[in-house]
C-alpha cells in the first residue's frame, strides 16, 4: 500500500472524506471495532499546547491496540535545534506514524516529504484538518450524512480553523459564510480555491453571515502564538461575537460548534456555549472517533 499522510482536507476527494466520516460514525456506534494497530506506535510532536488533540490521539491509539508517545519540543532535541529532517529520518526508523502540532505549516510539509511513515497534521498556523473532520461528523449527526449545500457560518478570525473549513467547503460543496473583520481574512489561495468549486461569502457583517445558517461556529480571537496581539485583537473582533442575536438570525434548528478551548464572554457568550443549540461536547468527543478512522486508514 502506498504511503498516505493526513495534512490537509484539500488533499482528499469528496468520496474519501465521506468515507472517513462514515468510518468514524461506525467506530462511534460500535458497528466497527478492532485492534488493527497492535504493536504499532505513533509519535506525537507538540510544539504548541494541547488538551484534546493529545488526549484523543493517545486514547485512540490505545483503543486500536497501539501505543502513542508524547514528544514536547522542550523535552526532546528539537528544542535544542535538531532539524525537522533529522528528527523525521530518526522517528521513521522507530514508529509507524507521526502526528505533529507546530507553528509553521512548512515544517509539516517537510516532514511528510521525508517520512517513510504516515504524517498527520495535528494543527499548524495554517490548518487544523483533524478538528474540522470531527466538526463535520458532528454536523452529520444533527442534519444527516448529506453535506452538499450545508450552510455554515464562521465568525471572527480567518485562522487555521477558518482555512480548514474553506477546504472542507471546497471538497464537499458546503455553503460557507465568513464574517471576518478587514485585515484578518483567511489564506487568499485557500479562499480562491474554495470559491472555484462552491459558494463562499466573505463579509464584514456578522448578521449577513448568520442569516438562516444551520451551523454557527467560531474560535478564539487569539490563537497560539498570537499572545502579543491580544489587546488589539480583543478590540477588533468584539463585533464578531457569537451571541443570542446571531443565533436568532440563524436557522431555528442551527447548532453551535467551537473547536475549544473557548473563552466565554469573548468570541462566544456563555448563553450560547452552554445553551441548548451547542454541540461542543459531542464535537470534542468526535475528535476521538474521527482520528481513530484516520489512524486505522493510514496505519492499519
Ligand atoms: N481543539 C483542539 O485542537 O484542542 P487542543 O488545543 O486542546 O488540542
Ligand atoms: N485557532 C486556535 C485553535 C486551537 C485548537 C489556535 O491555533 O490556537
CA 279 – CA 50 distance, rounded (Å): 20
Q: How confident is the model at residue 204 (pLDDT cuts 50, 70, 90)?
A: very high
Same domain? 162 vs 291: no
Closest Cα to residue 236, out of 164, 162, 158, 165?
158
pTM of the complete model:
0.98
Atom of ligand 2 lying closest to residue 222 CA: 8
Domain containing 76 equals 9-128+286-299
Note whether 34 and 156 are within 8 A (CB). no
Position 3 in a domain: no
Domain count, the chain: 2
Using DSSP, how many helices (H) and how many strands (E) does the chain show? 12, 9
Q: Which grid cell sits at 125?
A: 498556523
**Is residue 236 over pLDDT 90?**
yes
Same domain? 144 vs 248: yes
Position 185 in a domain: yes
CA pseudo-torsion sign 160, 162, 164, 166: negative
**Nearest CA owner, ligand 2 atom 2:** 223
In tens, the pLDDT along 125-175 reads: 999 999 999 999 999 999 999 999 999 999 999 999 999 999 999 999 999
Query: Does the beta carbon of 157 sit less than 6 angstroms from any atom of ligand 2?
Result: no
CA 282 – CA 300 distance, rounded (Å): 26
In tens, the pLDDT along 250-289 reads: 999 999 999 999 999 999 999 999 999 999 999 999 999 9
**Is residue 1 over pLDDT 70?**
no
Give the number of whichever ligand sits closest to the CA of residue 105.
2
Position 4 in a domain: no
Same domain? 118 vs 232: no
Position 2 in a domain: no
What does pLDDT average to over the chain? 98
Same domain? 37 vs 77: yes
Amino acid at each position: 500500500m502506498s504511503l498516505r499522510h493526513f495534512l490537509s482536507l484539500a488533499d482528499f476527494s469528496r468520496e474519501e472524506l465521506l468515507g472517513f466520516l462514515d468510518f468514524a460514525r461506525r467506530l462511534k456506534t460500535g458497528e466497527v471495532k478492532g485492534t488493527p494497530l497492535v504493536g504499532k506506535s505513533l509519535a506525537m510532536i507538540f510544539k504548541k499546547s494541547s488538551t484534546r488533540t493529545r488526549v484523543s490521539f493517545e486514547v485512540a491509539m490505545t483503543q486500536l491496540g497501539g501505543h502513542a508517545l508524547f514528544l514536547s519540543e522542550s523535552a526532546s532535541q528539537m528544542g535544542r535545534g535538531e532539524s525537522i529532517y533529522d528528527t523525521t529520518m530518526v522517528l521513521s526508523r522507530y514508529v509507524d506514524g507521526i502526528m505533529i502540532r507546530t507553528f509553521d505549516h512548512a515544517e509539516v510539509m517537510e516532514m511528510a516529504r521525508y517520512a517513510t511513515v504516515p504524517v498527520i497534521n495535528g494543527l499548524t498556523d495554517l490548518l487544523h484538518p483533524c478538528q474540522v473532520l470531527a466538526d463535520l461528523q458532528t454536523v452529520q449527526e444533527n442534519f444527516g450524512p448529506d453535506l452538499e449545500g450545508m450552510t455554515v457560518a464562521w465568525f471572527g478570525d480567518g485562522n487555521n480553523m477558518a482555512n480548514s473549513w474553506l477546504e472542507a467547503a471546497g471538497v464537499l460543496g458546503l455553503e460557507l459564510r465568513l464574517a471576518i473583520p478587514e485585515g484578518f481574512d483567511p489564506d487568499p489561495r485557500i479562499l480562491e480555491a474554495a470559491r472555484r468549486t462552491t459558494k463562499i461569502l466573505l463579509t464584514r457583517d456578522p448578521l449577513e453571515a448568520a442569516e438562516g445558517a444551520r451551523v454557527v461556529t467560531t474560535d478564539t480571537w487569539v490563537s497560539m502564538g498570537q499572545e502579543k496581539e491580544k489587546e488589539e485583537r480583543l478590540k477588533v473582533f468584539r463585533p464578531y461575537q457569537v451571541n443570542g442575536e446571531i443565533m436568532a438570525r440563524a436557522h431555528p434548528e442551527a447548532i453551535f460548534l467551537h473547536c475549544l478551548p473557548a473563552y466565554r464572554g469573548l468570541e462566544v457568550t456563555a448563553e450560547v456555549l452552554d445553551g441548548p443549540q451547542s454541540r461542543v461536547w459531542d464535537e470534542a468527543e468526535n475528535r476521538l472517533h474521527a482520528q481513530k478512522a484516520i489512524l486505522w486508514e493510514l496505519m492499519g
